[in-house]
Amino acid sequence: MTTRDESAATDVSLIVPTFREYTFDRLLERLLEHLAAHPLGRTEILVVDDSDDATQAQLADIIARRQARLGGEVTVRLIAGPRRGKGAAVREVALVARGAVVFLMDADLPVPLHHLAQFVALVREGADVVIAERPRDRYRGNLVRSVVSRGLYLLQTSVVFGEKLFSDTQCGFKAFRREVLEQIARRQVVDGGMYDLEYLYAATLWHKNVLRVAVVGNPEVRESRINVWRCLRQDPIDIVRFKLRGLAGHYDGGERSVD
């Protein structure tokens, strides 16, 4: 089990889950170039990888070469994921991240990177969670993904929250106050892709200050890794699981923000 080094002061943690990210060398370079030009303070990039051993070794080599060129303000660390799903990988690293502000960010960098500083500022000003929301018509021209996205929106509105709170819960660009993320991760039950929705559900139960920021997403640099048919089978089950646990008090005990 990875442990947190409490002695190392860190301002921002970027958790980046990966799985067979063959273009990650170029994407990591873009991220590091941005951080060099627009520093956020002491920043750690925690790459949690669920790939096979050979692919993970290649990723480790990429990270080692990049790390050798960095100064002390930015570090990159590879963490072997548990290989039980994206949510399980995020949970493991969320519990060891050292930054006062912690991002959950997809490896394909779905949102323009200038939003990093904006989200950090919002958390430092009092937000507990800040999420990016892309345009509702982002899947126009892709009938299958459009239908799945619309179905998830209706499900979260009717079953999870009971009202229209969020228009885009699945954008892979979210920032958390570290203590809030840790509280949620310790109670997390979803190992798959619906962990995003579970995190927001727990945050709303605890009356956390969740801010929404409208963004125009970056163009996709690779085909989506989403297995639509697996999502259709598993996601509703996971949603019902955490909703029922919420009704049963599973998330009770979280620190509540002061109104």
Q: Where are the domains of the chain?
A: 10-247
Between 194 and 3, the more confident residue is 194
Flag whether pLDDT at 82 surpasses 50: yes
Q: Which DSSP symbol is given to 76?
A: E
pLDDT for 190-219, tens place per residue? 999 899 999 999 999 999 999 999 999 887
pLDDT, the chain, mean: 88
Q: For the residues 114-126, what does the mean pLDDT come to?
A: 98
Residue 258, pLDDT above cutoff 60: no
pTM for the complete prediction? Answer: 0.89
Residue 64 CA to residue 74 CA, distance in Å, equals 13
| 135 in Cβ contact with 90 (< 8 Å) | no
CATH number (3.90.550.10, 3.50.50.60, 3.90.1310.10, 2.30.30.830) of 10-247 reads: 3.90.550.10
Tens-digit pLDDT profile for residues 8-52: 579 999 999 999 988 889 999 999 999 999 999 999 999 999 999
Dist CA 89 CA 92 (whole Å): 5
